[in-house]
Structure 1
């Protein structure tokens, strides 16, 4: 055992390196404090995005006849296009865990989430996403309200959050004789010690998930670069959707109407063991129509097959089996989303993700208080004493 390693194991506070690591941790934490508060609070709220939407819009999400047979998808689509002729219907989702009615996403003069009655297909109403408070929370959490530059800034924030985790666990280590006491908050101590315990102990217990959020936050800013890095040691093959396109129609031939019923029937015939969970409509003449076939729960897009069709010629183009990962690299990249959001494993895990999301603002506040107690309070007292002496 080398001298430096022995010192780290038994007396880490005496290491010269510790001072430099402390400075990195301190100033990175202070600079990122407001960022951590913003993404932590917004992330904890967004874990329950679906439940909050249902709570605020019960007449749209809940059905008085939840067991009624479903209206045909083509009837739902026709009603949407008739009601909102200036909008394009992008996606229609069948009723599932989070909504007892059909849900559709429309684009055009405004971005709409429309709900249609499960039995009749009649449009019940819409949520205008551009002005919706949950949309604002999403824009804050993903883009820091700044579009693409905000996404890049978020990625940089994720890298620094990962750095805070690594420097934090180094600083947390109290030595082999005292590590057990560093796992418990002493509630009867004075407020300064209590605040220190909150930061140190809270940081330790939340470290694994906070580190995951840091890494996955960086991934969302640079997904292609991340996948390329993973591909170095394990091929990334099937995690991304295939790049399929539709042959352009002759210029003198108008695009025929899309027969949704026929395309859905083709998908059901191809995969009779799975259930239709939705349809994604083409946004351009060369973009395929995709029929979503659920291998498990209808709401769980992680276990969904996307069947690609030429919507005009009704030709099958291919299938993307989302979640059917062929390599370790596929699995690593695929898990970035589920691990970050924590919404796929039941209410208990969602509650855990939301609660630990509050660790980010908690660590930011307790860290700033520690800096105040350690340095700024003394400066403040000296300034006040000088002012009183004049």
Structure 2
């Protein structure tokens, strides 16, 4: 007997409902938490006047080096990075070394991950911990890896692939006979009840949010899988973050050591130490480098500078006063001689490179403006609608199948009784 394979529509339908009742459980959590994160910055500023925002003052703000000194005196920790805003009403965000962290040395070692502190931009006084920070941190970890580390990250990644499949297969499965009739695509009758209502909610609203879900899925995979992220970098030719790091500092020219004369003192015994290779490289003067940055870009919006190791330039990542979006970041590097050794402008990059640098803005919708961000938030928050209606439709279908299978048995039993 020949094996009969299911049709494409049947196979897609079976896969659709299976992923819906499995990965759909994860997607409901990921969707709601993503919606809650959509306007995190705005909510945090509204909840924390006096911590994230300050009252402007007429006197000029101190230079970055003095501000760093005051923050270090107040926190008892070393400042690793500083985020400054051109707006006088925004607090300074300082990243300080965690307790017990070793001092940062020169070379290629990775700097320690710091802890955020907020400070007054005039006095450097610490402003306390912002309300809601713990809630949003937990929400973000739940959104990205279900509070389950690497295993949760993989589960979220697989579920994100399922989201793209569910969106596209759902469009195929509900494709109407009268495809040009807009009412078929977008109308939900208020008179519908029961299974018919659940089906219309699932299919029609699913059509509305389909492009948003596909965008969420394709951009969300950027953080889930290395192979996907690397493939995007290879496809676009955009520099990877490691390639976009500090400019390489050339090693000083090697000095040949003359042959030792018999009887002359050995190195380390009255002579130069064996490990000594010349004077240490001059560190960057933070204030002079900041002044060079202001000469180059006086109209910045926000700027983040990381304290460099000796011999490394000061790198400042900044956003213009009127950026294309909040993640349209530019990078400038200034060496110890106050020279601009590198300046990468967002607007000067190819479109593919801009998109790779704007992945979070694409994922949240901020790349397209406030209206699309709001739509992405709503689409995320209603993701449980599709899980719930899908499960109800699945259970209704199973109930109908069991009822249909029971009718012939009851008919045979009735005939036998006669």
TM-score under structure 2 length normalisation: 0.74
Give, in angstroms, the shift of residue 38 of structure 1.
1.1
Cα distance in 1 between the residues matched to 2:277 and 2:135: 44
Contact map agreement 1:227 1:333 (CA 8 A) in 2: no
**Equivalent in the alignment of 2:43:** 52
Q: Please state whether the residue corresponding to 2:172 is helix, strand or coil.
A: helix
> What is the CA distance between 1:337 and its match in structure 2?
2.4
CA offset at residue 334 of structure 1?
A: 3.7
The CA deviation at 1:301 is 4.9
Question: Over residues 175-195 of structure 1, what are the superposed CA-to-partner deviations in whole Å (9 max), with x where a residue is unaligned?
Answer: 126773242112221133222
Q: What is the match of residue 6 of structure 1?
A: none
Match of 2:342 in 1: 318
Scaled by the length of structure 1, the TM-score of the pair is 0.78
Aligned to 1:268: 294
Mark the CA change 1:299 to 1:331 in structure 2 (over 3 Å): closer, same or farther.
Answer: closer
Question: For residues 35 and 180 of structure 1, what CA distance do their matches in structure 2 show?
Answer: 32
How big is each residue's C-alpha offset from its partner over 1:122-144, in whole Å with a ceiling of 9 and x where there is no partner? 32223499x71111111111232
C-alpha distance in 2 between matches for 1:164 and 1:203: 10
**1:210 deviation in Å?**
0.2
SS at match of 1:125: coil
- SS of aligned partner of 2:178: coil
CA displacement, residues 228-254 of structure 1 (integer Å, 9 cap, x when unaligned): 35645x543699735524468978867
> Is 1:186 aligned to 2:189, yes or no?
yes
Moved more, 133-142 or 106-115: 106-115
- Residue 61 of structure 1 aligns to a residue in which SS? coil
Question: What corresponds to 2:103 in structure 1?
Answer: none
Deviates more, 1:151-160 or 1:201-210: 151-160
How far has the Cα of 1:268 moved from its partner? 2.4
User: Per the alignment, do residues 315 and 302 of structure 1 end up closer, same or farther by CA in structure 2, a change over 3 Å counting?
Assistant: same
- Which stretch shows the higher mean deviation, 195-204 or 149-158? 149-158
- Given candidates 62, 83, 96, the residue that maps to 1:106 is 96
Residue matched to 1:10:
none
Secondary structure, counterpart of 1:290 in structure 2:
strand
Which of 351, 354, 357 pairs up with 2:380?
357
1:126-175: CA deviation from partner (whole Å, max 9, x where unpaired):
3499x711111111112322334433433322211111111111111121
Equivalences for 1:58-73 in 2 at 5 Å? 58-65=49-56, 69-73=60-64
Query: Which range moves more in the overlay, 244-253 or 174-183?
Result: 244-253
Distance in 2 between the 1:111 and 1:377 partners?
A: 58
The alpha-carbon distance between structure 1 residues 26 and 285, as it changes in their structure 2 partners (threshold 3 A), is farther
Whole-angstrom CA distance in 2 between matches of 1:275 and 1:360: 38
Given that 2:283 and 2:311 are in contact with CA atoms closer than 8 Å, whether structure 1 keeps it comes out as no
Task: Assess, with a 3 A threshold, how the Cα gap between structure 1 residues 365 and 243 changes in structure 2: closer, same or farther.
Answer: farther
Offset at residue 291 of structure 1 (A): 1.9
- Correspondence list, 1:378-389, <5 A: none
Task: Give the corresponding residue for 2:32.
Answer: 41
Alignment match of 1:375 (pick from 389, 398, 406): 398
Write out per-residue CA displacement over residues 295-318 of structure 1, whole angstroms, 9 at most, x where no aligned residue. 3338955333211234x6655431
Note closer, same or farther for the CA distance 1:307–1:182 as it changes in structure 2 (3 Å cut): closer
Task: Please give the per-residue CA displacement for 1:336-387, whole angstroms capped at 9, x wherever unaligned.
Answer: 322101235544333222111123222112211221222269879x9xxxxx
CA contact (8 A) 1:343 1:349 kept: yes
Stretches of structure 1 that go unaligned for 5 or more consecutive residues are: 1-14, 383-390
Larger Rg computed on CA atoms: 2
**Contact 1:95–1:101 under 8 Å retained in 2:** no
Indicate whether 1:157 and 2:183 are aligned.
no
102-111 or 190-199, which deviates more:
102-111
Is 1:307 equivalent to 2:369 in the alignment? no
SS in 1 for 2:129: strand
Deviation of the 1:284 alpha carbon: 5.4
